Amino acid sequence: MTGKIEARLTELGITLPDAPAPAANYVPFVQVGDLVHISGQISSDENGLITGKLGADLDTAAGAAAASRCALSLLAQAKAACGGDLDRVVRLVKLVGFVNSTADFTEQPKVVNGASDLMVEVLGDAGRHARSAVSAASLPLGVAVEIEAIFQIQ
C-alpha cells in the first residue's frame, strides 16, 4: 500500500532520488528521540552537481531550482531514516540553507524558498518550518546551494 506522502509525490510527478551516500567521514542522518537531523544535501540533479555562484553565474530562479533539488535529497534521506515510510514524518521542524553567493547578492531567502515551497507542497502544513537562509563565500565542490534539515518523526 502506498502512503499518503508517496501518493502526493506521485500526484505532483516527483520521483525522489536515491538517498545520497556521505562524501566524507559523517553519517547522512542522526536520530535523537523523535528528531532526525539530516546532514547538508548539496544541489544536484540527474545531470550531476548544480554549481555556480548566485549573483555571478546563476540568477535567483536557478538558485531556487537548485534548492528544490536539495529538498528532494532531504526527503530521500528522511525516507531512509523512516525505514522507507515517509508517513512517519510528523513535521519538518527546520531548514538551514547555505547559498553560494557574491558579497552583494541579497536574495538568499528567495533561493531557499525553492526548498521551503517544495516541502509545503509535498507535506502540506507538516512542511511549514522554521528556517535560516545565509550566504556562503563558497560551498563544497562549487555547488550553488546546500541545505540541512530537522524532521520530527513517529
Q: Does residue 98 contact residue 139 with C-beta atoms inside 8 Å?
A: yes
- State how many domains the chain has: 1
Range of the domain at 24: 4-153
Residues 6+ apart with CB under 8 A from 88: 82, 153, 154
Calculate mean pLDDT across residues 65-74.
98
Model pLDDT, residue 120: 98
SS3 readout for 57-120: CECHHHHHHHHHHHHHHHHHHHHHHCCCCHHHEEEEEEEEEEEEECCCCCCHHHHHHHHHHHHH
Split at pLDDT 50, 70, 90, the class of 23 is confident
> What is the model's pLDDT at position 52?
98
Domain CATH number, residue 146: 3.30.1330.40
pLDDT reported for residue 1 = 53
pLDDT at 121: 98
What's the mean pLDDT when you consider all of the chain? 97
Measured between alpha carbons, how far apart are the two ends of the chain, in Å? 19
Give the containing element (helix H, strand E) for 30. strand 29-32
